[in-house]
Structure 1
Amino acid sequence: MEKETISVIVPVYNVADYLEECVISIINQTYKNLEIILVDDGSTDNSSKICDDFSKKDTRIKVIHKENGGIGKARNAGVEVATGEYFAFIDSDDCIKETFIEELYKLLKETDSDIAGCRFYRNVPGTTNFVYPKEATEYNFVTDSWGIMKRLYNDMGVFCVVWNKLYKKDIIKKHPFTDIKIAEDAYIMREYMFEAKKIAWTSKALYMYRDRPGSIMTSKRNFSIEEQEQRMFWLEKHIAYYKANKIDELQALAEKVYLFNIHEVWSDLDKGAKKFYKGKCFEKMRHMLKSKGNPIKSKIKYTIFAIKLALA
């Protein structure tokens, strides 16, 4: 079973406090035929040295040093040199359970899928503890592109990220990462899922995700139009694709997520951003209300939100 090489790509930027734990968790995988690619994206702390030290200890480890260009370009640099039949991406401040690769590889092969994914632990901010998600057998499934995108728009945190999955290499090779700074995973996920004929999932939590304080996605700020556009770019792209291809139900689901995101940060938008997104919300609302796919409670919730915007 371990004849096929799996490339594990890790973009690294100023994560000296977490990098050793991350790399050790990859080295200790029960599936041993790995190519571990550490892409040092111009780190200014001790991360570069940590990468080089690990490469001297394990011949499976390759290190790329490059100028800082962002996580998308770092992942692309790893993909360019990767030789495996399957790819996995691990963020350098996270870590994985020792059976992460083995179990996703087995699931992918048994179901003849192109992508296999899992659930994840999430750390308790400010501590070294991770919380296991509540058991949910509905996460054991095999589906197609439409099925996974429906799930994505209803459970974004599990499905719209790059790092808790194993991919056939062709899926990744055909769709390079972009250099956008916010929600870069979600931006490209539709391409990956539509490229795949079959996607398999396990309810097991095999990935350990760390929320770091002060990240762009978690910080509360007075968002300008430019900042909010970056946060919404992936949804704008998804909606435009569905509209152009007349995929009405997925368009309506993506529009619900769009409205959810604006609703959640409304109080953090500056005056100009509020004016700009008021019109955007009305546009998305009109289509979402007349299309199938979303439950009545969602339509009621965002209708109330639209009324508040109209009266504001």
Structure 2
Amino acid sequence: MEKETISVIVPVYNVADYLEECVISIINQTYKNLEIILVDDGSTDNSGKMCESLKAKDERIKVIHKENAGLAMARNSGLEIAKGDYIGFIDSDDCIKETFYEKLIHCLKANDADIAGCRFYRNVPNSEDFVYPEKSESYNFVTDSKGFMTRLYNDMGVFCVAWNKLYKRDIIMQHPFSKVRIAEDAYLMCDLAFAAKRIAWIEDPLYMYRDRPGSIMTAKRNFSLAEQEDRMLWIEKDINFYKKNSMEELQAMAEKVYLFNIRSAWDNLDKEAKKFYKSKYFEKYGHMLKTKGNPIKSKIKYTIFAIKLVF
């Protein structure tokens, strides 16, 4: 018997082309004891009306209409009214397999975990097809906060997002989303990981992630200093946390991600941003190089880029 309720929070902003598919995939879950909260974040297309139409089809659906304030604040608005024992987030241009919540709540409870997660499909650009990730038993695991963050820094795409997870209510309620403009999911993950005693994972890809033209993740990649600082805010926060708590190896792993972000964005940074992040690169590179935690191939890769910056 499904005694525990899962509150599913869906931020909605100008996604009329995808919203019904998303919500129907939640309605059709094999785990039925759901509270579905649609948060219309000031949509200017037909999304707000669609939320009301969908609400009429299923009594488990609640709708919030609010002024546009961004994804993080939309999720927090959903949290304010959520009644569930567990909390999940689905982006409104994505959808989920019918066993998504059944398998995640089983994983969470079977392992006495505070957070459970899974892998995901990713769509092929400019098509309706999705790529199935290669099977790997390495994604079946139970770990602690340090183990999870180690995995996150080595496989960011799978672990640093909010939507492929299920959370115990207390964990997420104690750590609402911060109003940051970019990477609000990643900004929260370190806080959540260190609030959790145990995190469990399954290799099943149960979430269907869509790269949508015009979305935050597919927007232009020409960064001013201010824009790059927004992109780096989450990893700066993590590094400062590890410094404060003398976690040398995790600090070095986070610094590796910091260097990765500079290296991958370098050709798209403006002159001011390049000047600023050149010195930042060497500051983080020095500590990363001399500290355990990262493989030698990573240290070689970022040494090669450091030489490029010198010459």
| TM-score calculated relative to the size of structure 1 | 0.98
Q: Measure, in 2, the Cα distance between the counterparts of 1:217 and 1:163.
A: 15
The answer to whether the 8 A contact 1:182-1:217 is kept is: no
> Structure 1 CA distance, aligned partners of 2:31 and 2:274?
50
Q: Percent identity?
A: 73
Contact residue 211 and residue 217 of structure 2 kept, 8 A: no
Note the C-alpha offset of 1:216. Answer: 3.2
Structure 1 residue 220: Cα displacement: 4.2
Q: Map of 1:155-194 to 2, 5 A cutoff?
A: 155-194=155-194
Paired amino acid for 1:9: I
Report what 1:20 is aligned to: 20
Instruction: Give the deviation of 1:153 after TM superposition.
Output: 0.1
Matching of residue 282 in structure 1 with residue 282 in structure 2: yes
1:126 aligns to what?
Answer: 126
Which secondary structure does the structure 2 equivalent of 1:151 belong to? helix
What is the rounded CA distance, in whole Å, between the counterparts of 1:222 and 1:187 in structure 2?
22
* Structure 2 SS opposite 1:122: strand
- What does residue 298 of structure 1 align with? 298
Aligned ranges for residues 204-223 of structure 1 at < 5 Å?
204-223=204-223
Matches within 5 A, 1:19-98: 19-98=19-98
RMSD: 0.8
Rounded to whole Å, the distance in 1 between the matches of 2:306 and 2:237 is 22
The residue that corresponds to 1:148 in the other structure is 148
3-state secondary structure, aligned to 1:206: strand
* Structure 2, gaps ≥5 residues long: none
| CA displacement, residues 285-310 of structure 1 (integer Å, 9 cap, x when unaligned) | 01001100000110011011111111
1:71 maps to a residue whose letter is: L
Distance across 2 between alignment mates of 1:140 and 1:249: 24
Deviation for aligned residue 1:178: 1.0
After alignment, is 206-215 or 268-277 more displaced?
Answer: 206-215
Which amino acid in the other structure matches residue 247 of structure 1? M
The number of residue pairs the alignment matches comes to 311
Per-residue deviation, residues 217-251 of structure 1 (Å, max 9, x unmatched)? 33343210000001110000000110111100000
- Work out the CA distance in 2 between the residues paired with 1:141 and 1:246: 26
State how 1:244-255 maps to structure 2 within 5 Å.
Answer: 244-255=244-255
**Partner Cα distance (1:194, 1:259) in 2:** 23
Distance 1:35 1:117 in 2: 19
Contact preservation (8 Å) 1:39, 1:74 = yes
Helix, strand or coil for the counterpart of 2:18?
Answer: helix
Measured in 2, the distance between the counterparts of 1:179 and 1:241 equals 19
State the match for 2:11 in structure 1. 11
C-alpha distance in 2, partners of 1:39/1:197?
A: 30
One-letter amino acid of the structure 2 residue matched with residue 167 of structure 1: Y
What's the counterpart of residue 116 of structure 1? 116
Residues of 2 paired with 1:219 and 1:277: CA distance?
A: 22
**C-alpha distance after superposition, 1:174-208 (max 9, x if no partner):** 01101111111000011111110000000000000
**Counterpart contact for 1:36–1:60, Cα < 8 Å:** yes
The amino acid that maps onto 1:245 is N
The answer to whether the Cα contact below 8 Å between 1:39 and 1:77 also exists between their aligned partners in 2 is yes
Determine the structure 2 residue equivalent to 1:201.
201
8 Å CA contact 2:39, 2:65 repeated in 1 = yes
**Partner letter of residue 240 of structure 1?**
N
2:14 partner amino acid = N
Partner SS state of residue 213, structure 1:
coil
**Structure 1 contact 220–268 (Cα < 8 Å) conserved:** no
**What is the TM-score of this pair, normalised by structure 2?**
0.99
> 1:137 and 2:137 equivalent?
yes
Post-superposition, which runs of at least 4 consecutive aligned residues in structure 1 deviate over 4 A? none
